[in-house]
Structure 1
Amino acid sequence: MTPPSVPARQPGRPGDVLLLTVLLAAMAAGPLFNYGVASSSALVIERLGVTSGQLGTVLTVVFGAAAVTSVWLGRLADSLSSRAQMGIIFGGAALALVVGAFSTTLFALYAAAALAGVTQAISNPTTNRIIREVAPPERRIGWIGVKQSGVQLAQLFGGLFFPAAALALGWTGAALGAALVAGVLGVVAWATVPPLPAGSSAAAAHIRHDDGAPRAAEGPAGAGAPTTGRPGGRERLPASVWFFAAIAFLTGLGMQAVNAYLPLFAVETLDQSLVVGGAAAAVSGVIGVFSRIWWGRRMAAGHRPTTLLAAICAGSLLVVAALLAADVSHAPALLWAAAVLHGLTVLGANVVINAGIMDGVPAGQLGDASGTNAMGMYAGFACGPLVMGLLRDHTGDFRLGLLAVGGAYLLGLGVTWLLRRRVDRGRSGV
């Protein structure tokens, strides 16, 4: 018998703020490791005896692990209880920080990075599923915008906590302190999230195709369940999921390349201090918190995801243009313009993509679809810094790398246009 789904919460119901805070924390838990290593890089480099380039490969391991495991973990999110998934997220984040705290070699830090990547890979499917089950339909997209801001809050926390704690307690003490924070948040999350049973999302009543047509949810096997066409009885994902995953890959590549190298660009190309370079990155992160909420509200107001994604890709091209102009003219003011535009545009892409997926797939496939999208996003995250770093080492400057980022955004604009054409054909019956 199919487990009953949890009724949607009524607007203003007590506990909504706490639950939304927990979902935001779930998105922030995994990236604590990334931002901790980045903000304490000088101490970590000295501790491990590695170069800055070698330390940069730690992020490649994080996002590579996330990309490889995203689809499997997304499917797992459709079958595990919500509390079990919160245990994986916060327990995995704490374990990654503990392993990182005691790492004395680069390969040991790689192990911690892989754990952090797995934690980040399941966070989107888990939080998407909970929102789909408990949030009123008219508030779901707004909730997505808020919870996606958790990544930027992790960036803010990491930038403030780790340097101060590392100076006082060393890298080990700082990482263990962050692990304790993750553990405490995990206890709160376990007590707060609704105890959604394993597989409960399969019982949702009516879903929407990527063409906007209503669709009956799957019933139990043998009781009128639809023909799947996929091994193991799983129904094929809507084509829109793969378009969204491609857009997530391309925007993620550009986003993470700029995130990783903006401070170094400021120092090497514009002769700014490391503090100024870090401040520029922080400005992007802070603006990104509000940007993600704003893009989520645009979706909630009825704007089509393809319209918003086209605007995001076009705005991201302006970021590339500003950085190239800053390089050519040696104009530090353009660095700040690029940082602001970066926060306003591409940092909001994943909110729109997640909202589009939530509206376009059956509830029982939401974890699978979210995992597929996360695979694309994390693959882009892994490739972006790698491509930028290789081109920087090969040419001696950032210009070719920035052109590659611009090419990724142009391709993202093209894929968005193809998705819009496909959706329009579906609505017109063509």
Structure 2
Amino acid sequence: MTADPTEKGPIHTARVPPSLLVLVTGGMGLSMFVLYAIGALGPFLIEDLEISSSQLGLLTAVTFGTATVLSLYAGQVADLLGGRRAFALLMVLVAADFALLIATRTYGFLLGALVLGGAAQSLANPSTNKLITTHVPPERRAVAVGVKQSGVPLAAFTAGLTLPALAAAMSWRAALALVIPVALAAALAAVLLPKDTGRSAKLRLALPAAPNPPTRWLMAVSLCIGCGLSALNTYLPLYAHQRLSMGERSAGALIAAIGVSGIASRVLWSRLSNRLDVPRSLLILTVASVVFGALLPAATGATWLVWVGAVGLGCSAAAANAVSMVAVTQGSGFGGTGHASALVSMGFFAGFVVGPVTFGLLVDTTGGFAAGWALVTAVFAVAGLCSWGGRRIVRDSV
């Protein structure tokens, strides 16, 4: 794989700075924390705000709908500001989002507050990938991206393990308030990083150029993966609580199970994608996602299957986006890192808009979860077909 020639930032060291890895990993986790918070706290939100399953899904859809639209510009913002400033802005947006969430008392206000969460998510991959391409040598970037992307399942693990217990002991608002000081501390740490000397002052915000064929292929795969993952993370605890009669804490722990398995799988598959190549890695992951996704509706007869399905999906579907980001940071055929990262993220976020809303409508109209889980399995299967069909295009780009 070759480095992206459009990146002009200097490589400051021959090894990956540990402090940088901690920062970008934490930043990815904080940017996505609201998604797992909605899933883990789903039973609390439905009871407190008296909302339906489809309204719960709309919370996720608003967040990622905003992220999808703003991803048109997020890559340019990261290229214009540089990774350091873009990352600091990301963390300030996360802190502001959670401050509004804990102040809300109505469902409508909650929807409005989540717009800021979408703005943060649109900047997450462009800013963190920009930091990596600036400060990490090309031969180490796959590992750095894998570690960085593990912050997302780490957020799932943390949310699923802690939020239900904290919400039961205090309130869901008090539980979410703990995120604010962490995000502000990360923003301060970003400001203290070395300045970005590769930042261009000539860039102006405008609609991005149409994605080239390899980027379009990654966007299509990311769209399907995002659709399935968002439905899974939003509704798995509710399904376990309502249909499998699991307690609120045990149901929330399923999100933690996805998270802990996803941490290792993202690092592992980011390494393997260098050997197996990106298309083959994505094909393996999507086929495995179909198999494990099919276990979830079967868990009504054997509850232990839901744990196997959750862990398996953390090892497969949750790792797919990390592999896509390896391709973007390593390959020269996708264009500038910030721009390409934003476009691929846009596809991923678009899936997060479609998945929860469609799943919630299926639950409300059918009165059960079977149709929703069929949707999840189907979109993972389509992702597998896209991985197979686009294998030559992307292989030539990385």
Same-fold call, TM cutoff 0.5: yes
- Which residue does 1:380 correspond to in 2? 351
Q: CA deviation at 1:144?
A: 0.5
Aligned residue-pair number: 391
Q: CA deviation at 1:341?
A: 1.0
- Which residue does 1:308 correspond to in 2? 281
Cα pair distance change 1:165/1:375, threshold 3 Å: same
Give the conservation status (yes or no) of the 8 Å contact 2:153–2:259.
yes
Distance 2:356 2:78 in 1: 29
- Which residue does 1:121 correspond to in 2? 122
Give the conservation status (yes or no) of the 8 Å contact 2:160–2:253.
no
Q: CA deviation at 1:52?
A: 5.0
Distance 2:27 2:279 in 1: 27
1:322 and 2:295 aligned: yes
Distance 2:206 2:37 in 1: 41
Q: Pick from 3, 6, 10: which aligns with 1:7?
A: 10
1:391 and 2:362 aligned: yes
In structure 1, give the amino acid aligned to 2:196: L
Distance 2:166 2:273 in 1: 39
Q: Pick from 193, 202, 227: which aligns with 1:253?
A: 227
Distance 2:206 2:116 in 1: 28
Q: CA deviation at 1:129?
A: 1.3
Cα pair distance change 1:161/1:316, threshold 3 Å: closer
Cα pair distance change 1:370/1:303, threshold 3 Å: same
Distance 2:306 2:42 in 1: 22
Distance 1:232 1:116 in 2: 22
Distance 2:7 2:249 in 1: 53
Distance 1:397 1:52 in 2: 11
Distance 2:208 2:242 in 1: 51
Cα pair distance change 1:155/1:232, threshold 3 Å: closer
Q: CA deviation at 1:406?
A: 2.0
Cα pair distance change 1:386/1:130, threshold 3 Å: same
Query: TM-score normalized by structure 2?
Result: 0.89
Give 3-state SS (helix, strand or coil) of 2:116's partner. Answer: helix
- Which residue does 2:237 correspond to in 1? 263
- 1:270-309 CA deviation, whole Å, 9 max, x = no partner? 3333333222222111111111111111124x22100000
Cα pair distance change 1:388/1:342, threshold 3 Å: same
Cα pair distance change 1:173/1:269, threshold 3 Å: closer
- Which residue does 2:179 correspond to in 1? 178
Give the conservation status (yes or no) of the 8 Å contact 2:293–2:313.
no
Distance 1:4 1:258 in 2: 36
Q: Pick from 370, 373, 382: which aligns with 1:411?
A: 382
Q: CA deviation at 1:4?
A: 9.4
Cα pair distance change 1:160/1:143, threshold 3 Å: same
In structure 1, give the amino acid aligned to 2:8: S
Distance 1:423 1:157 in 2: 34
Give the conservation status (yes or no) of the 8 Å contact 1:291–1:348.
yes
4+ residue segments displaced more than 6 Å: 231-235
Give the conservation status (yes or no) of the 8 Å contact 1:199–1:364.
no
Cα pair distance change 1:331/1:136, threshold 3 Å: same
Cα pair distance change 1:337/1:232, threshold 3 Å: closer
Q: CA deviation at 1:130?
A: 1.4
In our comparison, the structure showing a higher alpha carbon Rg is 1
1:39 and 2:40 aligned: yes
Is there any run of 5+ residues in structure 2 with no aligned partner, and where?
1-5
In structure 2, give the amino acid aligned to 1:389: G
Cα pair distance change 1:153/1:44, threshold 3 Å: same
Q: What aligned pairs does 1:31-70 form with structure 2 within 5 A after superposition?
A: 31-45=32-46, 47-51=48-52, 53-70=54-71
In structure 1, give the amino acid aligned to 2:97: A
Q: CA deviation at 1:110?
A: 1.3
| Aligned-residue RMSD, C-alpha | 2.8
Is there any run of 5+ residues in structure 1 with no aligned partner, and where?
203-219, 222-230
Give the conservation status (yes or no) of the 8 Å contact 2:233–2:255.
yes
Query: TM-score normalized by structure 1?
Result: 0.83
The farther-off stretch of 231-240 and 353-362 is: 231-240
